Structure 1
Amino acid sequence: MAMTAATASAKSLTKKLLFHSQSIRPPKISPLHLSVSTTTRAAYSTLRNKSKSEKNQKRKAELLVKRRTRSDRELDEEGFSQQYGNDNSAHVPVMLGEVLDVFSSVPLKSFVDCTLGAGGHSAAIIQAHPEMEFYVGFDVDPIAHQIAQAKINSVLHNDSGRSTADIKVHTVMKNFKSMKAVLHDVDTEHVASGVQGILMDLGMSSMQVNNAERGFSVLCDGPLDMRMNPQASLKAEDILNLWPDAEVGRILRDYGEESNWFSLQKKIVKARLTGGLHSTLELVDLVRSSTSYTRGGRQGWIKTATRVFQALRIAVNDELNTLKDSIHSCFDSLSSGGRLAVISFHSLEDRIVKQAFLDIINRGDEGDDAERYLNSPTKLDMYKEREAWIKQIVQGPKATILTRRPITPSESEERLNPRSRSAKLRVIEKI
């Protein structure tokens, strides 16, 4: 009897609990409420991603500032204006003051300019070093060769304490990769003892860029040439119209560092069906039609075209392979205490120069990382006492990198000569 009553009581309690649980239902969410919530979450997510992106950009900018060593040497604005004025066609030697500083403490009896150009750097260095007895300048461009030769001769004739008899000047119309052979031909003494200073300025000269017939300029219509040496056989149009599809893409990707390389490759190959590409304007039009306004704004195509032109120029002139081989050749040609200075203008060149310098200081010291030589306060203090432009060094057993971070142009030089913006100067000294 007691068991039956207990069972009935339990059943009654269960029914009450079930009824109560069914009566408590979650509140209904209207479609409008759900839409607002979703929109709010999306907006919050967008703001969060934007904030994250801004922080990443700020971090990258801070790292860039830390990695670069801007020159403390301000450009003489008045002197610059008097010499060059508003003449955009004039070739202005980049980081001239900094280059003079690099060699100021070196007894520069012999000097080699691997990239003569218009002779701006060479003329200033010859003028600053009356002790110089031997000079060699290289350039494959015959027009640059003539202009530079005239400039150097003018400096020698106008310098009251100098004459052409005091210094042996050799201007050679060859690529600087032939330096060892040329030095051996013109003066065996300097092959044996080495030269005190060597300069490489890897930038394009204004007279090359501004000459539409050379095909280097994005903004001027001309043939797709791009040869530094007009006697060379390979032209940019040969690559665009005849080379395998994959090779064209590789050039755009590796030499131009262009993210849209595959799309451009397909359009270039497609253009072959209608006669190919034969002028810079045709190539620029192809790039412009391939570049969305969302990629860099209305002028985004100019940046893409600049990368494409850079890639083709490097391929036509085999610039990177020549640079790799020549840096080691130049260093081997230095005397003890001699310096090699290299001015590069894009990341591919700068990476090659940086790595070649590190390879040199590790040469003959297998298994040791160059970074272990960084902390050499005594050596660094010794350099700083003589030369204020030296900030950090990397010390090796046979060489010292005097620019752990590359020197970049001063703010005044970038303002007065926009073409100097991407320049980076690295220097190594032979022990």
Structure 2
Amino acid sequence: MAGVIRAKQLFLCSSILSSNNNKVLSRLPRRSINVIAGNLNSSETKKKEKEKRKRRKEIEVEKATAEAVVNKEKRRTRSSRGYELADGDEVPSSHVPVMLGEVLDIFSSVRLRSFVDCTLGAAGHSSSIIQSHSELKNFVGMDVDPVARKLGHFHIDSLMHPTLKASIVLKNFKYIKSVIADTQPELLDVGVDGILMDLGMSSMQVNNPERGFSVLQEGPLDMRMDPQATLTAEDIVNSWPESELGRVLRDYGEESNWYLLQNRIVKARLNGGLHSTGELVDLIRGTSPASRGGRQGWIKTATRVFQGLRIAVNDELKTLQNSLYSSFDVLAPGGRLAVISFHSLEDRVVKQTFLDILGFQREEINGEGSSVKPERQIEERVEKELKEKEEWIKQTVIASKGVILTKRPITPSEEEERLNRRARSAKLRVIQKL
């Protein structure tokens, strides 16, 4: 109401001052005329200042956006390879292997006599590897998901030939050494020529509401990759200490609104707790600020919360780190380990663990640590061989134990990102044993 009165007063003042009615002005005391003029000047000044602040903010946002784009491009190497589908996949509506062409390129120059797929899934990558390498004699496929393992087994069986020995095992890739020892122990002596980890969730898992991974489908708060594991997301949200729950949302989910969500989840325990994905999503929707952009705002928040819970349930980051060390250990000289990650936490673990494997400290990312660098002639020979054989290799980090072939991660081509939405956040890193 006060704002309306103020507006009317300003309009009246403006009308009086803009009129040529000298009689009206002459009847007003000089003090009143000064007050009227001052009010108008003050209003105009505030309006101009508001416009200036708005423009400054727009410029800052434009500048920040431009810098973010530049920095993102600096930190990665976009693949220039054409988008390649696995045989039989015409449209990427079902699960399609991400960066298939890039994976084939990575192993194309390797005499691949043995190969381990740590995340077999539907065997999209492995099927193409087997078809591309007639020299392949030993294959090991691992998956912790029984449904995925069964489907992958079916596809590998269809590609079997008399000279190929294949072992398909229902195990987490953290057991890579023991799996090889139990199934094809000769590989521990000679080493494995190629290992692949695709850390993304398959469409089979996301689209099954009973697994509890989807924010858009009603299901139990499960989120276990291994159905035989005991810990579930329901256990975390209903019984973990408040501080631990907050840590999961903050550190694993990378959610800025973690504290409020933590309090709301703990408060929900007083009313029986949360037992389904729908109940958790409803809580998130009621907690997400309206300023975050309506439906898309809460979906992004829910995605981060689900990510944090899934990582905690499956102990994904620690498992990944330990598995990278074990995988490098079983590589043969010249063998390669390729890892496709799908979010910043995974990529950070892969990047730093590769550096740790070669003996670099965090500050030696540019390869300047003299204690771990090979002799100059070895370095020159490796660089020469890599450049001659493989165009996809842009920048490397070389040490006496091995070479990181992707100083910057390779990301999908624009075509693949357009045709396969799952690929948009993918990053591919490769390390080779010397």
Q: Deviations over 1:33-87 (max 9, x none)?
A: 12322332232123113212211221111111222211111115xx67x933557
1:174 alignment partner, one of 168, 171, 175: 171
Q: Deviations over 1:274-319 (max 9, x none)?
A: 1111111111111111112311343211111111111111100000
**Does the CA-based 8 Å contact 1:362-1:369 persist in structure 2?**
no
Name the structure 1 match of 2:367.
371
Give the secondary structure class of the aligned counterpart of 2:42. helix
**Does the CA-based 8 Å contact 2:355-2:365 persist in structure 1?**
no
Name the structure 1 match of 2:88.
83
Name the structure 2 match of 1:137.
141
**1:412 is the counterpart of 2:415:** yes
How big is the shift at 1:91? 1.3
Give the secondary structure class of the aligned counterpart of 1:257. coil
In the aligned structure 1, how far is the partner of 2:302 from the partner of 2:231? 20
In the aligned structure 2, how far is the partner of 1:48 from the partner of 1:403? 39
Higher mean C-alpha deviation, range 125-134 or range 290-299: 290-299
Q: Deviations over 1:183-216 (max 9, x none)?
A: 1222332112211100000000110111111111
In the aligned structure 2, how far is the partner of 1:404 from the partner of 1:244? 40
**Does the CA-based 8 Å contact 1:362-1:397 persist in structure 2?**
no
**1:251 is the counterpart of 2:248:** yes
In the aligned structure 2, how far is the partner of 1:369 from the partner of 1:284? 40
1:386 alignment partner, one of 385, 389, 398: 389
**Does the CA-based 8 Å contact 2:92-2:419 persist in structure 1?**
no
Give the secondary structure class of the aligned counterpart of 1:337. strand
Question: For residues 51 and 241 of structure 1, do their structure 2 counterparts lie closer, same or farther at Cα, with a shift above 3 Å needed?
Answer: same
Question: For residues 366 and 234 of structure 1, do their structure 2 counterparts lie closer, same or farther at Cα, with a shift above 3 Å needed?
Answer: closer
Higher mean C-alpha deviation, range 419-428 or range 64-73: 64-73
- Structure 2: which amino acid aligns with 1:106? V
**1:230 is the counterpart of 2:222:** no
Name the structure 1 match of 2:71.
63
**Sequence identity, in percent?**
58
- Structure 1: which amino acid aligns with 2:152? A
Structure showing greater radius of gyration is 1
1:18-417 → structure 2 map (5 Å cutoff) = 30-76=38-84, 83-85=88-90, 88=93, 90-156=94-160, 163=161, 165-362=162-359, 370-372=366-368, 379-417=382-420
- Structure 2: which amino acid aligns with 1:83? G
In the aligned structure 2, how far is the partner of 1:360 from the partner of 1:30? 72
**Does the CA-based 8 Å contact 1:370-1:395 persist in structure 2?**
no
**Does the CA-based 8 Å contact 1:362-1:370 persist in structure 2?**
no
- Structure 1: which amino acid aligns with 2:155? K
- Structure 1: which amino acid aligns with 2:107? F
In the aligned structure 1, how far is the partner of 2:289 from the partner of 2:250? 18
**Does the CA-based 8 Å contact 1:380-1:392 persist in structure 2?**
no
Name the structure 1 match of 2:29.
none
Q: Deviations over 1:152-189 (max 9, x none)?
A: 01122xxxxxx2x3121111111111111121222332
- Could you tell me the TM-score, scaled by structure 1's length? 0.86
In the aligned structure 1, how far is the partner of 2:362 from the partner of 2:316? 29
In the aligned structure 1, how far is the partner of 2:46 from the partner of 2:363? 58
**Does the CA-based 8 Å contact 2:352-2:362 persist in structure 1?**
no
- Could you tell me the TM-score, scaled by structure 2's length? 0.86
Q: How many residues align?
A: 393
**1:424 is the counterpart of 2:427:** yes
In the aligned structure 1, how far is the partner of 2:310 from the partner of 2:179? 25
Question: For residues 196 and 43 of structure 1, do their structure 2 counterparts lie closer, same or farther at Cα, with a shift above 3 Å needed?
Answer: same
In the aligned structure 2, how far is the partner of 1:85 from the partner of 1:390? 29
How big is the shift at 1:411? 1.2
Give the secondary structure class of the aligned counterpart of 1:421. helix
**Does the CA-based 8 Å contact 2:92-2:420 persist in structure 1?**
no
Give the secondary structure class of the aligned counterpart of 2:295. coil
Give the secondary structure class of the aligned counterpart of 1:36. helix
Q: CA RMSD in A?
A: 2.2
Name the structure 2 match of 1:11.
none
